[in-house]
């Protein structure tokens, strides 16, 4: 019965649906829920330090409920996006309402789209990896699959990783560097993979190239059904989702570095990611906040990730931390003193 608490992951898309029904200031329902109610909720509920028993781990791995929860997001995300675009085009809205809906739909795409794609992208089955790519499509971030799995998890905590934020780097600077850097990294990784296969640019193995075609096709389809205005809304929603992802990337590894060992770096350990065990963010984000354990064993499914208390700890949950990161002086003051000595 306790496993049903993971249904909280659906409260983000549910809040967007509620926002559509409310209208007016209600267009910001998802924003207020994610960055208002959840931080307050987490301030009240103490983190749970309990570890899963071996039996509980095996039971959770055998329980298809957890996989089904991930798969259902495909229907949820695309339904909300399609209806959301239609709603934005067909409904007379004031400017502040339009902004509210774009932010709300973007948060849905970021949390239940990109974040779930991240989890599925680490799975071993072809169908789950395909679902990951389909969820990345409307965010126009399909290259994330290449860069994250073949780049970030290898280079995290080093200068070669664009998704590792540096000490005293603002989140706004990080947005640009990470987005551009990950595209470049994905391109370089794809070239290397093609070279290893002795395959040409137009090979069926050039995933990066075909990802661009799929994303362009998505925008063309949106334009066909919803016009130029619909394409603008789709791009805006994708941008919100991307910036949400990159802000999460920013807080997950801020200032944490791996020591150089000659031509190599020390192996990745739980010390190279910030851990957050705050209850609501854990459930809403499918345990993404237990990021130290994820990087320690990337193939570990979300439902059995553990909170590693020895790793660097975020003082707040993810959404609170993201808000603080938007004010760099406060973020630096709060986080720099928590960095391991070697990070200085």
Q: What is the pTM of this model?
A: 0.94
Token pair of 237 as six digits: 């929603």
User: Would you state the pLDDT for residue 342?
Assistant: 59
Of the two residues 88 and 3, the one the predictor is more confident about is 88
User: What confidence tens digit (pLDDT) does each residue in 5-25 have?
Assistant: 999 999 999 999 999 999 999
Q: Is the pLDDT of residue 200 over 60?
A: yes
Confidence of residue 344 (pLDDT cuts 50, 70, 90): very low
DSSP string, 264-317: EEPPP-GGGS-B---HHHHHHTTTTT-HHHHHHSTTS-GGG----TTS-B-SS-
Confidence of residue 198 (pLDDT cuts 50, 70, 90): confident
Looking at the predicted structure, is the pLDDT value of residue 343 above 90?
no
* Alpha-carbon span 104 to 125, nearest angstrom: 31
Domains in the chain: how many in total? Answer: 1
Range of the domain at 83: 2-343
Averaged confidence pLDDT in the chain: 95
Query: Residue ranges of the alpha helices (H) in 109-206?
Result: 115-121, 126-136, 143-147, 153-155, 171-196
pLDDT tens, 51-65? Answer: 899 999 999 999 999
Q: What local confidence, expressed as pLDDT, does residue 107 receive?
A: 98
Query: Rounded to an integer, what distance in angstroms lies between the CA atom of residue 292 and that of residue 295?
Result: 5
Distance from C-alpha of 238 to C-alpha of 258, rounded to nearest angstrom: 32
Kindly report, residue by residue over 284-337, the tens digit of the pLDDT. Answer: 999 999 999 999 888 899 999 999 989 999 999 999 999 999 999 999 999 999
Percent of the chain topping pLDDT 70: 99
Q: How buried is 313 (Cβ within 10 angstroms: 0-12 exposed, 13-18 middle, 19+ buried)?
A: middle
Could you report the per-residue pLDDT of 70-94, keeping only the tens digit for each? 999 999 999 999 999 999 999 999 9
The average pLDDT across 198-204 equals 86
Using the structure block, give the residue that is written with the tokens 């499509």: 137
pLDDT at 202: 83
Average pLDDT of the residues in 148-175: 96
Give pLDDT tens digits for 115-149: 999 999 999 999 999 999 999 999 999 999 999 99
- The three-point CA angle 300-305-306 to 5° equals 140
Confidence band, pLDDT 50/70/90 cuts, at residue 224: very high
Q: What SS3 class is residue 189?
A: helix
pLDDT on residue 341: 75
pLDDT digits (tens, 9 = 90+) for 259-274: 988 788 999 999 999 9
Does residue 1 surpass a pLDDT of 70?
no
What H or E segment, with its residue span, contains residue 260?
strand 260-261
Please give the average per-residue pLDDT across 152-166, as a whole number.
Answer: 95
User: In this model, does residue 2 exceed pLDDT 90?
Assistant: no
């Amino acid at each position: 019965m306790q496993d049903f608490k993971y249904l909280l992951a659906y409260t983000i898309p549910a809040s967007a649906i509620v926002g559509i029904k409310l209208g007016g200031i209600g267009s910001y329902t998802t924003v207020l829920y994610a960055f208002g109610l959840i931080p307050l909720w987490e301030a009240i509920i103490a983190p749970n330090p309990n570890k899963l028993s071996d039996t509980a781990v095996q039971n959770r791995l055998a329980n298809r409920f957890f996989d089904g929860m991930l798969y259902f997001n495909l229907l949820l995300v695309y339904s909300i996006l399609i209806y959301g675009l239609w709603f934005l085009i067909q409904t007379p809205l004031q400017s502040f309402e339009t902004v509210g809906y774009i932010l709300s739909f973007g948060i849905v795409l970021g949390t239940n789209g990109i974040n779930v794609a991240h989890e599925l992208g680490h799975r071993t089955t072809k169908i789950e990896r395909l679902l990951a790519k389909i969820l990345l499509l409307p965010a126009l971030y399909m290259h994330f699959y290449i860069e994250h799995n073949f780049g970030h998890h290898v280079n995290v905590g080093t200068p070669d990783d664009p998704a590792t934020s540096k000490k005293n780097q603002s989140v706004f600077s990080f947005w640009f560097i990470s987005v551009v850097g990950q595209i470049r990294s994905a391109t370089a990784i794809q070239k290397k993979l093609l070279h290893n296969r002795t395959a040409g640019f137009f090979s069926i193995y050039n995933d990066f190239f075909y990802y661009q075609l799929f994303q362009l096709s998505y925008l063309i389809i949106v334009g066909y059904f919803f016009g130029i205005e619909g394409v603008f809304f789709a791009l805006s929603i994708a941008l919100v989702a991307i910036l949400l992802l990159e802000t999460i990337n920013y807080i997950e590894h801020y200032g944490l570095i791996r020591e150089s060992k000659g031509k190599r770096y020390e192996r990745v350990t739980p010390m190279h990611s910030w851990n957050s065990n705050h209850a609501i963010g854990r459930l809403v984000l499918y345990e993404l906040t237990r990021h130290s354990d994820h990087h320690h064993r990337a193939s570990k499914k979300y439902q059995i990730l553990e909170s590693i208390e020895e790793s660097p700890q975020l003082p707040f949950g993810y959404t609170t931390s993201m808000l603080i990161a938007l004010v760099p002086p406060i973020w630096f003051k709060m986080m720099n003193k928590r960095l391991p000595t070697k990070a200085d």
